[in-house]
Structure 1
């Protein structure tokens, strides 16, 4: 038995009681009681919930822990449906699908929600529903004139969906666990090749070696991107996100493995090389040595943004993109609060609670996995308790919680929220189940048993017991602890397998916990107004409002007070400014301002141009795309701009024209020319999500039931010299 002194020390370390049958937080209390029949009753601020006996169970010293595991299974049963529906598809009529719905308020199947949920372990619990749901998110092409293939769908979203958002490759994160079914495996391999090839063509930037597109899951633009993207998401289409690039890295690794298994050594080598190069690029572009963290996203010219997100950080660690000391730094430098870890940091003082100022249990589960990867017992315990506490006090595995209170609603005027908060949210349900099976009992995704249990959790889980047990349909795992514990982390000393039953003897090792970062300021400073830039005989004069940090063409120039001059090698710069807070953290950037006047060409296609100087040029289009609102739809206009000069090999750059508010500039591409070159530009049709057969069922906007739509009103072609270098 643990000594009274050690018990007290462990309780002091956690700062809470042992949570045997109750959790008290913020003046509220949740209590769990158990019946001999295996049923549980949870009471709390939400009222009362009776929970039936479930097919899986845990037997620990904590009735609360055991009962919440049963509640997560009950939530999953309610999410297990035979039909789904969404107001934007088939006019809201039920669509047959023996699959998982996303939550009480989201009775549909969404690519990212489902894929993360499956990766968090649902593939083991109901492989049929997991496969069916993933299959529902695959589609062939309905337009015979478009390139044919089998593609993962990017759901309706920012500016008309893909390629503003490009995290659809998360589908493969879930699918990789279900390849024992040959038909599904064949579809996965085909979709993997077609989807990666399409992203390589339209979303990959060879200069930076990164994929463009929005942060994964953080898809409410104003919450995480600069406020000026609310009405113009071209910046997002041009930018690069950590999480989305890590997902592409993992998809490329899977492609290399599957190509090898299919006997295609050349393809396997190619995918492996792409993955390795991408990993190098992610570490070169996103890592901030001064912060010891990976940035959440960077601008299209490489401009660093002093903003971070927990999912991207956790995925970088668990995928192996962050290795060695960087993995530990990235997670330990990410701030947290007593209730849990925010999904973004710093927060936005002008935005309501949703992704902003919020804890999302599924992200906490990935943070827990990352903490296991670096053997950080304090972070493991912190994320585990956050997942438990939220479920207990709300009576369900909710979509999200307010950061400070862990409440499902906080009244804060126009900033009140969470704005939406669904019970039994699928990835939150998966998070709880994964926290138990992997986070406590150590059952990894590949079937190994590798517990990494913080000693600080022994009072809650073991109490006076010598062992705790997880009973699953196909196996059981029993953890045995020693009486004398000298260390910080319990790991397996010995694993004995008796048929489907595993007996694990634990030992304590020294894995000194990094101190949780709890001293960070909550909010970033408000961003400054856009600067002005003019030319005079001294160079390019920049004028800003007060003390700011100046950036030009992706490079940090430094602090200025009011005005300064920059040269940028004689090329007209594109500049933005940030404002520093008292802790040194910078605001999001002001709008970007580009100096000089571009050449404007408005002839019919093909359009002709003579290069005035040797060098690199930015090419873009004026356009208007009024086919849908800024925040949703599938009709982002995607074209391929082809430049041919003096018979040389044509240069091809994708041009993205998201839904717009009036006329604006498209995404840009970079071309290289020699002085005097006679160049011809042509515009070829590209591909968007409306080309997929699946979206024939889309009734919530254009490009759906009435047929594919990939078009915009196109104006001038704009050409300007750039100082950007590869």
Structure 2
């Protein structure tokens, strides 16, 4: 039993109700009781749930905490299947796979869902099933004309998938934990080498030193990108996302390690140099010193966007990419609400609840990990309680919750949501398991035990006990309270091994307080319409509707009230505008418009052009790709533009042409040419997801069972003097 002094200290640190057998929230309650045979009974707004005994268990003062841990394991068992299915593959017929399905409403395996879930600890619960699922997402090449190899698949998605979305490298985040199997480890190294080489060729931009592509997991375009991307994802294909670049950094770090293990020192050095350069570029391009936060994404010319996401913020901290105090500052400045932390901020007032205005438990688990990295007890407790509350009040580890109410549905007409919400979502199940194993008991990814437990949670977890325990099939962990509880964070003082039990005696330390940010406005302003730009004898005249902020060629020019001039120059600028609200928050950008009349070359290939002056030129194609809808498919067209200018070596520029609605512009690149140089342009076939063998099973659209398809109707080749960094 605890001493009177200790009990007084605990009472002083208690925050509201202590959540031992009941959680109250917004006029409703969830209650957990213990039944015979290590079973639990959970009752709440959802009804009643009987939870069976599990192979791992916790023994704390909170039956709610213990019972929800059992529920997560039970749901992991329910997600452990022998076959998966999806309507877009094999006509919806079952596909044999001893693996994890994604959730009650998602009986398939997706690369990012599975990989994040495995990284959140599922590799510890069922390593073979984890390997099987990851193996299902690897593929050889079915197109004999392309370099053969082993590649990670990008699932169907925006504009016809990769390279509009390029976060398939998250696969390695999960795979890195399962390298004790020799055959699997061999496939990991092969897939890592081949996938990184492919991304370097088609998705890497040497101008900014970053990888192009959509934000990881946030793949419902108009929820997180400007509304005009709903019908044109070309901007997304050209842009750069924080989360996706950090995932590439982590993949490169793994490549360094594996290359060294394979005795390839030169390859290891190359990966090491690429990783170091990418880390510098991320900090240079995404960090906003005026906000003290990392932006979620930036435009293809480096234009800053006033948008932030929790997963990207967490990953940049966990990976070690964040430099110095920026890690602590970025997490402290990321807003919270009483129910938890939103996956994006600011929210969109014109969009329903899904990624917008939502809490996703798996992202909260990564935020908890980030809080542990920076020793932030308030944030650790906040994310932990959010994960617990969501599971308790809904009776399952749901896919997502509305931000303010943490409800699984709010009725607001066209803005109602979450639009989709699945029980026992795999990465949400993994989030709860990781919150227990690492978040409370400190079981780190490398096997070390490093608890960082906020003192504010002691009343919930310890009550009048002096210890809590985690019982596993092969080992158990006991955390013991110190004699004195003066501080705000409990960390390990001594660690003793006693047979199969690890006993950790804790000590309380004082960490600098980083108060949760609770004063942020919920919504950002709506984006304005595109400005108009024209040239007269004073320069480039920009006209916009109202008081807005003007950007030109990736740089903030300043305020504009109706119209303004940009200094006349030889190179026509490209401009966009934003709106600022009363809180000083900027909207997402309007569409970009460019001045001048670029050279438009429409002829059979090869096409010819003579450079009017020495310099850098932006090149792109007008095209139409009607092989699939904007939101899915695997037939984004990918070509390589070869520019032969004079006697110089040929320059290679990837041209990405997503699914389109009518004629649109491809991604852009830069070439250099000397004055008077005769340039000859050729177009080579590139690679897309339909070229992989796995997509022979795709029956939901073109480029699947009937064979690869990497094509678009090509119109003009556009050439204009390059401005800014691009």
Q: TM-score range by the shorter chain?
A: over 0.9
Confirm or deny: 8 A CA contact 1:568 1:723 kept in the other structure.
Answer: no
Q: Can you list the C-alpha shifts for 1:116-155, whole angstroms capped at 9, x where unaligned?
A: 0000000011001100000000000111112211000000
Does residue 1:423 correspond to 2:423, yes or no? yes
Q: How far does residue 278 in structure 1 lie from its aligned partner after superposition? A: 0.1
**Residues in 2 aligned to 1:645 and 1:484: alpha-carbon distance in whole angstroms:** 75
Partner of 1:200: 200
Confirm or deny: 8 A CA contact 1:569 1:723 kept in the other structure.
Answer: no
Confirm or deny: 8 A CA contact 1:134 1:171 kept in the other structure.
Answer: yes
**Residues in 2 aligned to 1:448 and 1:183: alpha-carbon distance in whole angstroms:** 26
Q: How far does residue 105 in structure 1 lie from its aligned partner after superposition? A: 0.3
**Residues in 2 aligned to 1:551 and 1:120: alpha-carbon distance in whole angstroms:** 40
Mapping of residues 508-523 of structure 1, within 5 Å: 508-523=508-523
Structure 1 SS opposite 2:629 = coil
Q: Can you list the C-alpha shifts for 1:634-676, whole angstroms capped at 9, x where unaligned?
A: 0000000000011210110000000000111111111111111
Confirm or deny: 8 A CA contact 2:6 2:484 kept in the other structure.
Answer: no
Q: Can you list the C-alpha shifts for 1:262-301, whole angstroms capped at 9, x where unaligned?
A: 0000000000010000000000000000000000000000
Partner of 2:457: 457
Structure 1 SS opposite 2:131 = helix
Partner of 2:134: 134
Partner of 1:407: 407
**Residues in 1 aligned to 2:567 and 2:229: alpha-carbon distance in whole angstroms:** 28
Structure 1 SS opposite 2:32 = strand
Partner of 1:118: 118
Structure 2 SS opposite 1:290 = coil
Does residue 1:79 correspond to 2:82, yes or no? no
**Residues in 2 aligned to 1:322 and 1:113: alpha-carbon distance in whole angstroms:** 24
Q: How far does residue 508 in structure 1 lie from its aligned partner after superposition? A: 0.1
Does residue 1:94 correspond to 2:108, yes or no? no
Structure 2 SS opposite 1:30 = strand
Mapping of residues 91-240 of structure 1, within 5 Å: 91-240=91-240
Q: How far does residue 4 in structure 1 lie from its aligned partner after superposition? A: 5.2
Partner of 1:558: 558
Mapping of residues 654-673 of structure 1, within 5 Å: 654-673=654-673
Confirm or deny: 8 A CA contact 2:643 2:681 kept in the other structure.
Answer: yes
Partner of 2:339: 339
Q: How far does residue 687 in structure 1 lie from its aligned partner after superposition? A: 0.1
Partner of 1:678: 678
Partner of 1:8: 11
Q: Can you list the C-alpha shifts for 1:153-209, whole angstroms capped at 9, x where unaligned?
A: 000000000000000000000000000001000000000000000000000000100
Q: Unpaired segments of 5 or more residues in structure 2?
A: none
**Residues in 2 aligned to 1:181 and 1:7: alpha-carbon distance in whole angstroms:** 46
Q: How far does residue 5 in structure 1 lie from its aligned partner after superposition? A: 4.1
Confirm or deny: 8 A CA contact 1:488 1:512 kept in the other structure.
Answer: no
Confirm or deny: 8 A CA contact 1:538 1:565 kept in the other structure.
Answer: yes
**Residues in 1 aligned to 2:666 and 2:25: alpha-carbon distance in whole angstroms:** 50
**Residues in 2 aligned to 1:405 and 1:321: alpha-carbon distance in whole angstroms:** 33
Q: How far does residue 3 in structure 1 lie from its aligned partner after superposition? A: 4.7
Q: How far does residue 503 in structure 1 lie from its aligned partner after superposition? A: 0.2
Structure 2 SS opposite 1:414 = helix
Q: Can you list the C-alpha shifts for 1:446-488, whole angstroms capped at 9, x where unaligned?
A: 0000000000000000000010000111210000002320001
TM-score, normalised to structure 1's length? 0.99
Q: How far does residue 499 in structure 1 lie from its aligned partner after superposition? A: 3.2
After alignment, is 138-147 or 634-643 more displaced? 138-147
Structure 2 SS opposite 1:65 = helix
**Residues in 1 aligned to 2:407 and 2:234: alpha-carbon distance in whole angstroms:** 35
Q: How far does residue 7 in structure 1 lie from its aligned partner after superposition? A: 3.4
Partner of 1:697: 697
Mapping of residues 611-630 of structure 1, within 5 Å: 611-630=611-630
Partner of 2:653: 653
Q: Count matched residues.
A: 723
Structure 1 SS opposite 2:414 = coil
**Residues in 2 aligned to 1:87 and 1:210: alpha-carbon distance in whole angstroms:** 35
Partner of 2:262: 262
Partner of 2:594: 594
Q: Can you list the C-alpha shifts for 1:301-320, whole angstroms capped at 9, x where unaligned?
A: 00000000000000000000
**Residues in 1 aligned to 2:646 and 2:213: alpha-carbon distance in whole angstroms:** 33
Partner of 1:365: 365
Q: Can you list the C-alpha shifts for 1:540-575, whole angstroms capped at 9, x where unaligned?
A: 001111111110000011112111111264310000
Structure 1 SS opposite 2:563 = strand
Does residue 1:577 correspond to 2:577, yes or no? yes
After alignment, is 540-549 or 364-373 more displaced? 540-549
**Residues in 2 aligned to 1:623 and 1:508: alpha-carbon distance in whole angstroms:** 63
**Residues in 2 aligned to 1:163 and 1:473: alpha-carbon distance in whole angstroms:** 43
Structure 1 SS opposite 2:285 = helix
TM-score, normalised to structure 2's length? 0.99
Structure 1 SS opposite 2:29 = strand
Structure 2 SS opposite 1:570 = coil
**Residues in 1 aligned to 2:672 and 2:562: alpha-carbon distance in whole angstroms:** 35
**Residues in 2 aligned to 1:57 and 1:4: alpha-carbon distance in whole angstroms:** 26
Structure 2 SS opposite 1:31 = strand
**Residues in 2 aligned to 1:195 and 1:595: alpha-carbon distance in whole angstroms:** 38
Structure 1 SS opposite 2:715 = strand
Confirm or deny: 8 A CA contact 2:9 2:485 kept in the other structure.
Answer: no
Structure 1 SS opposite 2:519 = coil
Structure 1 SS opposite 2:24 = strand
After alignment, is 679-688 or 613-622 more displaced? 613-622
Confirm or deny: 8 A CA contact 1:468 1:478 kept in the other structure.
Answer: yes
Confirm or deny: 8 A CA contact 2:576 2:591 kept in the other structure.
Answer: yes
Does residue 1:242 correspond to 2:236, yes or no? no
Partner of 1:253: 253
Structure 1 SS opposite 2:486 = coil
Structure 1 SS opposite 2:108 = coil
Partner of 2:499: 499
Structure 2 SS opposite 1:504 = strand
Mapping of residues 527-546 of structure 1, within 5 Å: 527-546=527-546
Partner of 1:35: 35
Structure 2 SS opposite 1:145 = coil
Q: How far does residue 6 in structure 1 lie from its aligned partner after superposition? A: 2.9
Q: Can you list the C-alpha shifts for 1:469-524, whole angstroms capped at 9, x where unaligned?
A: 00111210000002320001000000001233100000000113301000000000
**Residues in 2 aligned to 1:622 and 1:468: alpha-carbon distance in whole angstroms:** 64
Confirm or deny: 8 A CA contact 1:613 1:676 kept in the other structure.
Answer: yes
After alignment, is 456-465 or 1-10 more displaced? 1-10
**Residues in 2 aligned to 1:695 and 1:40: alpha-carbon distance in whole angstroms:** 44
Q: How far does residue 615 in structure 1 lie from its aligned partner after superposition? A: 1.2
Q: Can you list the C-alpha shifts for 1:222-266, whole angstroms capped at 9, x where unaligned?
A: 000000000000000000000000000000000011000000000
After alignment, is 672-681 or 334-343 more displaced? 672-681
For the aligned residue pairs, the C-alpha RMSD in angstroms reads 0.8
**Residues in 1 aligned to 2:527 and 2:92: alpha-carbon distance in whole angstroms:** 41
**Residues in 1 aligned to 2:671 and 2:6: alpha-carbon distance in whole angstroms:** 71
Partner of 1:292: 292
Structure 2 SS opposite 1:214 = coil
**Residues in 1 aligned to 2:719 and 2:425: alpha-carbon distance in whole angstroms:** 47
Structure 2 SS opposite 1:316 = helix
After alignment, is 339-348 or 481-490 more displaced? 481-490
Q: Unpaired segments of 5 or more residues in structure 1?
A: none
